[in-house]
Homo-oligomer: A and B are copies of this chain.
Amino acid sequence: MDLTKVCDEILNSLKNQHMCIVTGECFVSYQGRAASKLPKGRRLLIIKADSSVSIHENRLVRPTNYMTNARTSCVVEGDELKLLSKNKAKETLEIIFYTIEDIHTYDLPMGNDLRLSGSEKELNDALMDDLSFLEPGLKPINQQQAFRTGVCDIIAEDKDGKLVVIELKRRQADYGAVTQLKRYVEQVQKLKNVKTRGILLAPDIRKSAMELLQSYNLEYYSYDFEVGERSKIKGIGKSQQKLGDY
């Protein structure tokens, strides 16, 4: 194909925020936080309206190479088409096409239309509606309370008036979840100067994370949830049941 025409089509696409896809034999080189090279090979290039650039091989969902928030130039040099993308961090992605097999431009909207259900935030809201099934007398005080070192999911008060920090996870809890809860509990304790409980609520927990949690004297409850238009917490299991499994 005529490289000059291809080059013009890419530049127009960039200017007009169209989606542009190019197929052909290319070499890719990335220099930045890491460095990588893709030897000469036939691949797919996608340029999008937000000036993100991706190189796809014929496998996997994620692109092999990519750059976001890039400024991209495109020039013909001899019988090669050179694309050079740079971002603010001075990283560079260079794509050299030796042959172009196909190019297409699509004027697609930039819309961000995904409606997601079952996110942690949604489960959090469901939980705030009624904490009592977690433990009788448990009352929510505050949701998404910001601390200096993060945002705590829920703060509640138990039937004895003791403060309870609740960290909710939508998947198996790991070390990170436990240390996160630990930090929040410590901060609340320091701030309010009262002994505070910490509850980790997750569908499952890794064995070693469970051990860490116990060593910190934190509590764990498992739960089931159902995703739908409005996701729901289906049931709570005692951490003791979980412990028995080990």
Contacts and interface: CB of A to CB of B under 8 A. Distances in A.
Number of copies: 2
Nearest to A23: B106
A211 B148 CA distance: 12
Contacts of A115: 36-39
A57 B108 contact: yes
A31 B35 CA distance: 37
Interface in A52-83: 52, 54, 56-66, 68
B57 A110 contact: yes
Interface stretch (A126-134, A171-179, A194-202, A234-242): A171-179
Interface string A202-224: 00000010001000000000000
B43 A108 contact: yes
Given A101-B106, A106-B44, A109-B42, A36 B116 contact: yes
Contacts of A117: 34-36
Contacts of A41: 109, 111, 113
A63 B61 contact: yes
B62 A113 contact: no
B52 A48 contact: no
A31 B117 CA distance: 9
Contacts of A66: 61
Contact of A61 (B49, B68, B110): B68
A100 to B, nearest CB: 12
Nearest to A123: B34
The 8 closest A-B pairs by CB, nearest first: A34-B118, A58-B108, A35-B227, A50-B59, A179-B179, A35-B117, A36-B116, A49-B58
